[in-house]
C-alpha cells in the first residue's frame, strides 16, 4: 500500500439536539474527514474526534488539522506500508496527538481492508455479525425531561442507558431513574466531576445497581481511582485516563478499573485499540466502545471494532439518526432493538456520499 494523496475536509454538521456534557454543550459538531487514496485509486476514510474546545482532552479540531498537515501526512505520503499496524511505528516520534493520528490511521485501515477484499471487521479479526448498542444521554434541564428521554430510548430497545452525573445532579437523579426503570441496564458517566472527597457521596450510588460509574475522578488519574474502587461495589470504568496499552496495564494492575471504555481516537487508532482489547481479554476486564458524537464514518469504525470478542458490554454507537438529520454514509448506521448488523461490504462497509460530504464541508485541502 502506498498512499499517494490525502484530502482533509473540515466538516460542520448541525446536531438534531444539543448534547450537554459537564464541560459544555454541543449544537454543531466540527471535525475533520481524512480521505487517503492509494496508488491504485482505492479511497479510505477516517475522522477526527477532538472537539473544538480542549476540555475532554488537550486536542482540538485546530490542533488535529495542524498535526495532520504539518507532521502526520508528510510522514505517510508515498511511503510503502505493508500493514496498517506499521502506522503506529511511523508516528512514534510524534508525541501524543492521538486523535489526529487515529483519523489517518483509520483511513489507512480502510484502504487496507478494501484492497484485501475484507470488511474492516474481518481485517481487525472481529467475528460478530451484529453488535449490542446502548445510548448516551447528555445532561438535561430537569429530571422529568431526562426520564422521558430515557423512556423513549428504552422503548427503542437500546441495550444500556448512559447518563451524565455531576455534583448536585447525581444521587437523586439516579434514584428517580432506577425507580422508573427497575430492570434497565443503567450506567453513569461523571467525566471527572468528582474527587476522593466525594467518596461517601459516590458510595450512595451503590444502592442503584448501576452497571458502572465512568471516569468519576481526574482525567489523568489512575492512583485515586484504585483507592475509590476499594470503597465502591459499583465497578469503575475508565475513559479519559486511558490513552494507551501502557495506561490500561497500569490501571488494571493497580485495580483502578474493572471495565474500560475504548475510544479509537483517544487511544491513537485501531491498532492500539486492538492491543488494549486483547490485554483486557487476557485479564478478564470487559471493554465497550465509547462514542465521540461521530458522523457515520467514525461510527463505522466503531462498529467494526466492536465485533472483537471482548467487547461484551453495549457501547455508545447508536443509530446515525440519534444525532444527524442526514448522515454522510449510505446506508446509515441503524440499530433495531439495540442491535446493529455489521456490514459485510469491503472496508468500513458503508458508501461515503460525496454530495452530502460536500454539503457539510467548510474547508478542504489536498496533499499529494
Ligand X SMILES: O=C(O)CCC(=O)C1=CC=C[C@@H](O)[C@@H]1C(=O)O
Of 159, 164, 166, 258, catalytic = 164
User: Do the beta carbons of residue 103 and residue 265 sit within 8 Å?
Assistant: yes
Residue 221, marked binder: no
Name which position in 31, 56, 194, 279 contacts ligand X (CB under 6 A). Answer: 56
Among Mg ion, ligand X, none, what does residue 343 contact (CB within 5–8 Å per kind)?
none
Given a contact cutoff of 8 angstroms between Cβ atoms, the answer to whether 222 and 252 are in contact is: no
164 is catalytic: yes
Only one residue has cell 466525594, namely 198
Q: Which residues have a Cβ under 8 Å from the Cβ of 45 and sit 6 or more positions away?
A: 33, 34, 35, 36, 106, 107, 110, 297, 348, 352
Closer Cβ to ligand X, 97 or 136, answer by number: 136
Instruction: Report the phi/psi class of residue 130: left, alpha or beta, with left for phi > 0 and alpha for psi in -120 to 50.
Output: beta
CB 177 within 8 A of CB 146: yes
- In the bound complex, what is the minimum distance in angstroms from residue 262's beta carbon to Mg ion? 11
Among 59, 189, 316, 327, binds Mg ion (CB under 5 A): 189
Question: Which three cell numbers, joined as nine digits, stand for 283?
Answer: 485479564
Cβ nearer to ligand X, comparing 114 with 243: 243
163 binds ligand X (CB under 6 A): no
Question: 327 a known binding residue?
Answer: no
Q: Is 214 annotated as a binding residue?
A: yes
Degrees (nearest 5) of the Cα angle 205, 234, 55?
75
- Alpha-carbon torsion 195, 199, 205, 206, what sign? positive
Please state the closest distance from residue 37 (CB atom) to Mg ion, in A: 34
Q: Which of 114, 162, 263, 346 is catalytic?
A: 263
Q: Tell me: does residue 217 bind ligand X (CB under 6 A).
A: no
Among positions 273-292, residues that touch ligand X (CB under 6 A) are 290-292
Residues near ligand X (CB under 6 A), total: 12
- Residues classed as catalytic: 164, 263
Residues that bind ligand X in the complex, under the rule CB under 6 A: 21, 56, 136, 189, 191, 239, 290-293, 316, 318
Task: Write out the binding residues for Mg(2+).
Answer: 189, 214, 239
Amino acid at each position: 500500500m502506498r498512499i499517494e494523496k490525502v484530502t482533509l475536509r473540515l466538516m460542520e454538521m448541525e446536531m438534531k439536539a444539543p448534547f450537554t456534557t459537564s464541560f459544555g454543550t454541543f449544537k454543531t459538531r466540527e471535525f475533520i474527514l481524512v480521505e487517503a487514496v492509494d496508488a491504485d485509486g482505492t479511497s479510505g476514510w477516517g475522522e477526527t474526534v477532538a472537539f473544538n474546545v480542549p476540555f475532554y482532552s488537550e486536542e482540538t479540531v485546530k490542533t488535529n488539522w495542524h498535526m495532520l498537515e504539518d507532521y502526520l501526512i508528510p510522514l505517510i505520503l508515498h511511503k510503502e506500508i505493508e500493514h496498517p499496524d506499521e502506522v503506529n511505528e511511523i508516528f512514534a516520534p510524534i508525541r501524543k496527538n492521538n486523535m489526529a493520528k487515529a483519523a489517518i490511521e483509520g483511513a489507512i485501515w480502510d484502504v487496507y481492508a478494501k484492497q484485501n477484499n475484507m470488511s474492516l471487521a474481518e481485517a481487525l479479526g472481529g467475528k460478530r455479525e451484529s453488535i449490542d448498542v446502548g445510548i448516551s444521554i447528555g445532561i438535561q434541564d430537569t429530571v422529568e425531561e431526562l426520564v422521558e428521554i430515557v423512556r423513549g430510548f428504552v422503548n427503542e430497545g437500546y441495550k444500556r442507558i448512559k447518563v451524565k452525573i455531576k455534583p448536585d445532579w447525581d444521587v437523586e437523579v439516579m434514584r428517580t431513574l432506577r425507580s422508573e426503570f427497575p430492570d434497565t441496564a443503567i450506567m453513569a458517566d461523571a467525566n471527572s466531576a468528582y474527587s476522593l472527597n466525594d467518596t461517601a457521596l459516590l458510595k450512595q450510588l451503590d444502592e442503584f445497581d448501576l452497571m458502572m460509574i465512568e471516569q468519576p475522578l481526574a482525567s489523568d488519574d489512575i492512583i485515586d481511582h484504585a483507592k475509590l474502587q476499594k470503597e465502591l461495589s459499583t465497578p469503575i470504568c475508565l475513559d479519559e485516563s486511558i490513552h494507551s496499552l501502557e495506561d490500561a496495564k497500569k490501571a488494571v494492575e493497580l485495580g483502578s478499573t474493572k471495565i474500560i471504555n475504548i475510544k479509537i481516537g483517544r487511544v491513537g487508532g485501531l491498532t492500539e485499540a486492538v492491543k488494549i482489547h486483547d490485554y483486557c481479554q487476557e485479564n478478564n476486564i470487559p471493554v465497550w466502545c465509547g462514542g465521540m458524537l461521530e458522523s457515520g464514518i467514525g461510527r463505522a469504525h466503531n462498529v467494526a471494532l466492536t465485533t472483537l470478542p471482548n467487547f461484551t458490554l453495549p457501547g455508545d454507537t447508536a443509530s446515525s439518526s440519534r444525532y444527524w438529520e442526514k448522515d454522510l454514509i449510505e446506508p446509515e448506521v441503524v440499530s433495531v432493538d439495540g442491535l446493529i448488523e455489521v456490514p459485510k461490504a469491503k472496508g468500513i462497509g458503508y458508501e461515503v456520499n460525496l454530495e452530502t460530504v460536500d454539503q457539510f464541508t467548510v474547508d478542504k485541502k489536498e496533499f499529494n
